[in-house]
Every structure is written in C-alpha cells, then in structure tokens.
Amino acid sequence: MSEFANSLSVTASGLKAQATRLRHVSENISNADTPGYRRKSVPFEAARDLENDVERVKTGRVSLDRSDLENIYDPSHPLSDESGHYEGSNVDLMIEIADAREAQRSYDANLKMFEQARGMSSSLMNLLRK
C-alpha cells in the first residue's frame, strides 16, 4: 500500500512542478511586450526523500534570463532615448510556446500515472468486497 502512496505523492510533486513551470511560461508570454522585462525560468531539482526512498521533483529558485534585451526603434515611445530606441523584453514567443507544449505533455503523463495508481489501489481494495 505504501508503494501506491509513494507513487501518488511523487506524481503529485510532478504535477505541481509542471504547473509552476506553466505558470512562469504564461507570465513570460503575457509580459512579452513589457519594456525591460526579463524572461523567467524555473529549474527542476530532484528532492530525495530518504524515509520512503523516493525522489520527488521540486522547483528551485526562479532565475532571470541575462541575455540582452531587444532594442526596439520607436521614437514616439515615451521610454525611447535620444536615438529613438527603447529596451523591450527578451522573451522569445517561439521558445515559450515550445516550453508550454513540453510542460503540458509532461503534465498529461503525470496525470495518467496518477489515475493508474489510483485505479490499481482501488482494484486492490475491491478484493475485500463481497
């Protein structure tokens, strides 16, 4: 029974980590046009639980992308300097969409495993019926 509990808890940690990742992706996408916004990314780390001998996944500290901000030419923009340029964000929409797709794929896989573990434990409980 504790194996199922481990299975469910580790899957739940995976679901939570992927959801956090997806949240940061949507933050990036919604701020794609915010001047001076730097892309956020969240690292995944394995968190070992020695008592139950499982490796859960957890998200680490959010880090900001240090690559250069996009230089946009728009003299009418209130933030533009003498040369008519202002700094946009360094979010690449293509990367964000791809990241969101991968997060969703992993989320689905985790959800499937959660349902399977639940189904297995409930069919085990069905043995006691009758």
Partner 1 sequence: MFTELNVFKIAYSMATHAGKRQALVSQNIANADTPGYHAKDIKPFKEVYAAGPRPGDMVASRGSHLNGNKGSQMDWAVTTSDTGADPNDNSVSIETEILNGVEVKRQHDRALAIYKSSMNILRTSIGRS
Question: Residue 107 has which token pair?
Answer: 């989320």
Using the rule CB under 8 A, which residue among 27, 38, 44, 95 binds partner 1?
Answer: 44
Alpha helices in the chain (DSSP H): 2-30, 93-126
Q: What are phi and psi of 25, to 5 degrees?
A: -60, -45
Using the rule CB under 8 A, which residue among 54, 69, 72, 100 binds partner 1?
Answer: 54
CA distances from 123 to 2, 4, 17, 43, 127 (A): 15, 12, 29, 37, 7
**Minimum distance from residue 62 beta carbon to partner 1 (Å):** 16
Cβ distance to partner 1 smaller for residue 36 or 60: 60
Does the protein bind partner 1 through residue 19 (CB under 8 A)?
no
Cβ distance to partner 1 smaller for residue 55 or 81: 55
The most distant pair of C-alpha atoms in the chain lies apart, rounded to whole Å, by 83
**CA-to-CA distance for 3 and 10, rounded, in angstroms?**
10
Q: Which residues bind partner 1 (CB under 8 A)?
A: 3-4, 6-8, 10-11, 13-14, 17-18, 21, 43-46, 50-57, 102, 105-106, 109-110, 112-114, 116-117, 119-120, 123-124, 126-127
